[in-house]
Amino acid sequence: MRGGEGRGLRLKVNQYGEASLQRSAHCQGAFAIMIVLALVRIGHGQGEGHPPLADFSGVRNLFGVCVYSFMCQHSLPSLVTPVSSKRHLTRLVFLDYVLILAFYGLLSFTAIFCFRGDSLMDMYTLNFARCDVVGLAAVRFFLGLFPVFTISTNFPIIATRFHLEGGTYPWVVDRVVFPIITLLPPVLVAFCTHDLESLVGITGAYAGTGIQYVTPAFLVYHCRRDTQLAFGYGTVNKHRSPFRHTFWVGFVLLWAFSCFVFVTANIVLSETKL
pTM: 0.63
pLDDT at 200 over 80: no
Q: How confident is the model over 249-262, as pLDDT tens digits?
A: 999 899 888 878 87
Q: Is the pLDDT of residue 274 over 80?
A: no
As a whole number of angstroms, the distance between CA 237 and CA 143 comes to 46
d(C-alpha 256, C-alpha 271), whole Å: 23
Q: Is the pLDDT of residue 74 over 70?
A: no
Q: Predicted confidence band at 13 (pLDDT cuts at 50, 70, 90)?
A: very low
Q: Which residues of 115-144 are buried (b: 16+ CB within 10 A; e: fewer)?
A: beeeebeeebbebbbeeebbeeeebbebbb
Give burial (CB, 10 Å; 0-12/13-18/19+) of 267. middle
> Which residue ranges make up each domain of the chain?
8-49+89-187, 193-273
Query: ∠85-91-94 over CA atoms, to 5°?
Result: 130
Question: Which range, 156-170, 197-211, 219-233, 260-274, has the best average confidence (pLDDT)?
Answer: 219-233
Local confidence band at 27 (pLDDT 50, 70, 90 cut-offs): confident
Answer whether 125's CB lies under 8 Å from 144's CB.
Answer: yes
pLDDT number for residue 157: 64
- pLDDT on residue 21: 59
User: Which pLDDT score, from 0 to 100, does residue 1 have?
Assistant: 45
Q: Does residue 3 register a pLDDT over 50?
A: no
Q: What is the overall mean pLDDT for the chain?
A: 75
Q: What is the mean pLDDT of residues 60-83?
A: 69
* CA Rg value for the chain: 22
pLDDT at 133: 74
Closest CA to 164 of 10, 3, 2: 10
pLDDT at 20: 57
Residue 42: predicted pLDDT? 87
At 162, phi and psi to the nearest 5?
Answer: -70, -20
**What are the tens digits of pLDDT across the range 129-167?**
777 777 777 888 888 777 777 766 666 666 666 665 656
Q: How would residue 9 be classed by pLDDT, with cut points 50, 70 and 90?
A: very low
Percent of the chain with pLDDT over 90: 1
